[in-house]
Structure 1
Amino acid sequence: MASPVIDSHHHFWDPATGDYPWLNGPFEPINRVFAPEDLRPLLRANGVDGTVLVQTWNDLGETWDYIEIAQKTDFVAGVVGWVDLTDAQVARTIAALKASPAGRWLVGIRHLVQDEPDPEWLLRDDVRRGLGALAEAGLVYDLVVKPPQLAAAVQTVADFPQLRFVVDHIAKPDIKGRGFEAWSALMGGFAGRRDHVWCKLSGMITEADWHDWSPDDLRPYVAEVLRIFGWDRCMFGTDWPVCLVAGRYEQVIAALRACLADLGPTQTDAIFGLNAIEAYGLATYRKA
């Protein structure tokens, strides 16, 4: 039986009902509705068995909507939603979500830390209280950060050994501007914490030159993430539909496979599915 392939990072949205001020200018081509039926044929064509649906804006209503979508959609194996970590009642909010009929699909939480003006937002006392609530609830916390927030992210991971973390989009290095060295120096801080932190090999083509990128541009970044985290702590994600501004769904997959060409089947099976199943505890794919 073939090892399951899991796209660990994608979105759905409707610009008419969400807050997406960035969907203009160069992102205008994806300023439209993206729903399960748009993704389904891409999954089928590329041999992807399941997905993790990930938050797009800081809104609790979206989280409720997403777990309902997961309940109705056969390929969505888990949801990374949003709750207000700074809310003193966040533990009750999490409990209500998990206790709902669709609550079993909630596997993680994230906040758009990359958009916070304070690069040390993660170190705030109220945020840390919220992270403690996530750990108590057994949820994962996705770190969506850029290099300016990486130092705080590394400190947060060190301070919460009981909480599983996933670094989204390899922390968004400036691939187009060849920002490897500064990014690598910061990412290295995760090396000693890899027992409870994973990293998504996702979102890379949108940090490269949208119109002139190749797998060779991504290869040193992928190699560095593998060095820091290990192949057993890395996972594949497309960041669809954001990726569409720079490449097609199948191009994202092909580029990552090219970057991982020197690995064996055990390693690639882990990166393309098994690690996401482990990190998020995806019930649909857990071994009995």
Structure 2
Amino acid sequence: MGSDRPLVAGEQLVAGEQLVAGKQLVIDGHQHFWDPADGSCGWMTEDYAAIRRVFSPDDLKPALAAAGVDKTILVQTWHSLDETLAFQETASRTDFVAGVVGWVDLTDPAVGATLSMLMARPDGRTLVGIRHLVHNEADPNWLLREDVQHGLAAVAEAGLAYDLLLKEPQIPAALQTVERHPNLRFVVDHIAKPRIAQHAMEPWARLMQGFKAHRDHVWCKLSGMVTEADWRHWKSQDLRPYVDAVLSIFGPSRCLFGSDWPVCLVAADYQSVKRALSDCLSGLTDEERSQIFGASAVEAYRLPIHS
């Protein structure tokens, strides 16, 4: 799917799903659902009390409609195969969820069989990628473990993408990993979480430059920025230097929009997140903006579309 043109109505993410004629397809490349009762929200301190509740498709649908977003990618929240199975089932019955980035145990010697099982299910077509909470691992070189590298090879063999959830300490290992796996599509989540609240560009900007040599198979999500900024006082101008840096490294053809809803709600509502990114992209062409707000997600996750 190498074309940079915007997707339009008549092209289908899933057979039978038709969009309004002439409307460009807008895709949110990163959102979540959760229920704190299932144990998935252990990361929520008191600062996140406002979002420590159930979030379901019914909660998100009005926000998507108000923001003009057509489809989403549903992303894992914790290390749970049960969550992946539940997300696949949710995606199969939710018209706006175009794909799932789930979790499998990359260190398991049988990871290939697990991936085959997930993809062989009736809802297996919904699985488009895998993610692990790498930035929560004590070892910044976790990605370079031999068993993890074997697991990543299995992800590539399955034809899925791999989302890299990083902070600055994990970027060097991620760079070695993308170099070792040229046939695996990688997606860097949340622009690797720079310290926006402190207006710190380094060492983040210098480390991220390493991805430039690999952007033939690495994408970057323009997501998660408002929660790395000052929650109460952020402005789109605070985000722009980081967006500009990412664009200079990856180019518009390898960047995609993500809301990080509902995590974003501690700092901004859905429309404000999308509007802030639009402000930061004001200098781009309409075609480049359409790429970021739609086509890049299709290409990174190989969402099935046809004319």
Normalised by the shorter chain, which TM-score bucket? over 0.9
C-alpha distance in structure 1 between counterparts of 2:81 and 2:259, whole Å: 24
C-alpha distance in structure 2 between counterparts of 1:157 and 1:179, whole Å: 25
1:127-206 matched pairs, under 5 angstroms: 127-206=148-227
Equivalent position of 1:7 in the other structure: 28
TM-aligned CA deviation for residue 72 of structure 1: 0.5
SS across alignment from 1:51: strand
TM-aligned CA deviation for residue 277 of structure 1: 0.7
SS across alignment from 2:29: strand
Using the aligned pairs only, state the percent identity.
59
C-alpha distance in structure 1 between counterparts of 2:109 and 2:200, whole Å: 38
TM-aligned CA deviation for residue 21 of structure 1: 1.6
Within the candidate set 242, 259, 282, 1:261 is matched to 282
Equivalent position of 1:222 in the other structure: 243
Equivalent position of 1:64 in the other structure: 85
Indicate conservation of the 8 Å contact 2:252/2:291, yes or no. yes
SS across alignment from 2:44: coil
C-alpha distance in structure 2 between counterparts of 1:243 and 1:279, whole Å: 23
**Given the alignment of the two structures, is residue 53 of structure 1 paired with residue 74 of structure 2, yes or no?**
yes
Equivalent position of 1:287 in the other structure: 306
Output the amino acid matched with 1:159: R
Equivalent position of 2:143 in the other structure: 122
TM-aligned CA deviation for residue 22 of structure 1: 1.9
TM-aligned CA deviation for residue 19 of structure 1: 2.8
SS across alignment from 1:80: strand
SS across alignment from 1:209: coil
Output the amino acid matched with 2:284: L
C-alpha distance in structure 1 between counterparts of 2:24 and 2:144, whole Å: 38
**Given the alignment of the two structures, is residue 103 of structure 1 paired with residue 96 of structure 2, yes or no?**
no
Output the amino acid matched with 1:207: E
Query: Could you give the per-residue CA deviations for residues 61-93 of structure 1, whole angstroms, max 9, x where no partner exists?
Result: 000000000000000000000000000000000
TM-aligned CA deviation for residue 237 of structure 1: 0.3
TM-aligned CA deviation for residue 287 of structure 1: 2.9
TM-aligned CA deviation for residue 181 of structure 1: 2.1
Count of equivalent residues: 286
C-alpha distance in structure 1 between counterparts of 2:306 and 2:210, whole Å: 32
Indicate conservation of the 8 Å contact 1:24/1:31, yes or no. no
Output the amino acid matched with 1:115: N
Indicate conservation of the 8 Å contact 2:257/2:293, yes or no. yes
Task: Structure 2 unaligned segments of length 5 or more: list them.
Answer: 1-21
Query: Could you give the per-residue CA deviations for residues 164-209 of structure 1, whole angstroms, max 9, x where no partner exists?
Result: 0000000000001122121000000000000000000000000000
TM-aligned CA deviation for residue 18 of structure 1: 2.6
TM-aligned CA deviation for residue 148 of structure 1: 0.6
SS across alignment from 2:85: helix
Indicate conservation of the 8 Å contact 2:100/2:127, yes or no. yes
Equivalent position of 1:89 in the other structure: 110
SS across alignment from 1:198: strand
C-alpha distance in structure 2 between counterparts of 1:19 and 1:242, whole Å: 13
TM-aligned CA deviation for residue 58 of structure 1: 0.4
Indicate conservation of the 8 Å contact 1:55/1:82, yes or no. yes
C-alpha distance in structure 1 between counterparts of 2:306 and 2:289, whole Å: 19
SS across alignment from 2:36: coil
TM-aligned CA deviation for residue 133 of structure 1: 0.2
Output the amino acid matched with 1:68: E
| RMSD, aligned α-carbons | 0.6
SS across alignment from 1:203: coil
Query: Could you give the per-residue CA deviations for residues 212-235 of structure 1, whole angstroms, max 9, x where no partner exists?
Result: 100000000000000000000000
Output the amino acid matched with 1:287: H
C-alpha distance in structure 2 between counterparts of 1:146 and 1:70, whole Å: 29
Indicate conservation of the 8 Å contact 2:34/2:40, yes or no. no
TM-score by length of 2: 0.92
Output the amino acid matched with 2:25: P
Structure 1 residue runs of 4+, over 3 Å off? Answer: none
